[in-house]
Structures are given as structure tokens and as C-alpha cells.
Amino acid sequence: MTNVIKQEVNIELIRSEEALALVKQEIDKTLSKSPLIIREYTTHLMASQGKFIRAVSVIICAENAEGLVHKNAVKIAAAIEILHLATLVHDDIIDNAELRRGDVTLQKKYGRRTAVICGDYLLSVALRMSASIENKKDYLDLALPDYVGKVCLGELNQHINNGNIELSTYRYLKIISGKTAALFEASFFAGAIFSGCQEAEVKSYRRLGYHIGMIFQLTDDCIDFEETVEGANKPVQSDYEQGVITLPLIHALSQISEFRDQAKAQTITRADINAAVIKAGGLKFTRKMVDKFYHKSIKIIDELSLSPHKKEQLMGILKKASRLS
């Protein structure tokens, strides 16, 4: 049974713009005031922060009918964003990435061992922050540690399937449902709990977060083939080289037998991959999958009881996920 927050007149509520500003302040304060032994590394991470899309999702979903946000949503939004940062640090170690959002990665600048420990530290910070909010009993159904587990299992599943040219579309979607979609689901779920909406709507928000998370990852799969390093602010044309099999390539492997045989013999080049993906329509296939999740998202948004402003904001996140804006 989901414990939905009831908006009492004596509960402090703030404007969503103020809430988002406070989220950023909370993250900056947490990173800049880390213990001295790790502060140099967390300060480095502050320079490459993203657009806080998960935190923005929490705050938007947390808005009540008057556009106000429960003050405790700030802590959860900051915790989820720091948790996401921890996963990026670990991702960069696994991928041996040199760039993240246009800046040198932590592992490249300070070494893999240091980066592993920093990622673990950020994970502990996120969980401690989520546990520090007032009236914790009201938020038990959020179960942020469970979402941490989903992310870890998704990453492990991806690692286990590195280089697996037999990977199916179904199996791949299961992997990214944990690796990427889980934190978006947690963000929308958390915001809905704070918004004061009914339990049925909380579940709808949760599904919406899942769909949007899947869209973000599948769109990112296409970016690896379509964007330049400058445009993406991270390495591109590199997923396969890191052993990661994404949906455009999975489709090409399933459609072109001679290409699959070549992959088994480990003789394919990046040019071979690009040509096969184009020939098989791998990007078109992936975009069709994006469209399916997009239309499911639209259906949920249309069914939710939303103010015009909140609907516009949710549509903005959806369009950003699918790169329509």
C-alpha cells in the first residue's frame, strides 16, 4: 500500500523554481564540503554536472495543484542526482572513458582505484541523504536502496553480456530497464508520493518514469552512431569497442547472417558495423522502439490529472528524452 503524502496546511510548501534551486544548492554543498581526503575529487565532479534531469523530474512530479512542492522532495531529488553521479563515475571506470560531458573523467585524471572509491562514497552519501528527511515513515514505499540494487544488477547484466552477439532485443530491454530506466522510475515515483495524488496516479507516474527512462537509453544508443564527440560531449562510435552491444547493432546482427558470422570470427571493424546498421535499418528499428515508449508515455500523461503547466513540463521531459526539442 503506497503511503501518499497528504498536503496539510501546516506543512511547509515551496515554489517549484525555488525547490530546484535548493536541489542544486544541496548537491553543491554536499560535494564541496565532503571530507578533506576526498574533497579534491568531488570538487572535480562539480565541474561536469549535467542538466539535473532526474532531479527536475522529481520536482515536476512533486508539484501539487497549486504548483507547490513539499520541501522534503528537495532532499530526495538531490539524493537521486548524487546516486546518478555515482553510477556515471563507475560507468566511466568500466568503459575506461576519458571524457564525460566534455570534461576529463575522474578515472582518467586520478586513476581507476580512486574513482571506484569516490563512486562508492557518493553512493553512501545518496543513501544517507535520503534517510535524513523528516517523517521517514511516510516515504518507506520509495525504497531507494531497492532502486540502487536494480541499477547495479542492470550494470552487471550489461557487463556479463559484453560482446554477446547473440543478445536478443528482449534481453537487452531487460538490461536497460535496470541500468537506465530504474532511476527515472524512482524519480517520477518519488515526486508523485510528495504531490499528494492518489495511489492509482502514483503508479501511473511510476510507469511514466520507466517509459521515459527507456526512451533516454534507446535514444542514447542512436547517438553513438549519429553524433560527433563534440555534439555528444562524450565518446561516440565506441559502444562496441567497449564490448557493449546496443539495440541498433542487435538488430543488424539478427538481420544479416554474413555480418553475424563475421562478428563471431571477430573480424568486424567500425566501418563494418556502421554499414551493417545502415543496411539492416538498425537506427530506424530503434527509433520505432522509442516511438512505442513515447506513445505509451503520452497516453499516461493524458490520463493524469494535471494542470496545463505541469502537463507542459512533463511533455518537455518526454521530448528531451526522445530528442524532439
pLDDT greater than 90 at residue 324:
no
- The answer, yes or no, to whether residue 8 has pLDDT greater than 50, is no
More confident residue, 228 or 280: 280
Give the class (CATH, top level) of 13-321. Answer: mainly alpha
Is the model's pLDDT at 138 over the cut of 90? no
**Residue 10: pLDDT over 50:** no
Considering only CA atoms, give the Rg of the chain.
20
> Does residue 9 register a pLDDT over 50?
no
Listed by start position, the domains of the chain span 13-321
pTM: 0.89
Residue 109 has pLDDT above 90, yes or no: yes
Percent of the chain past pLDDT 90, that is, above it, reads 66
Taking all residues of the chain, what is their mean pLDDT, rounded to a whole number? 88
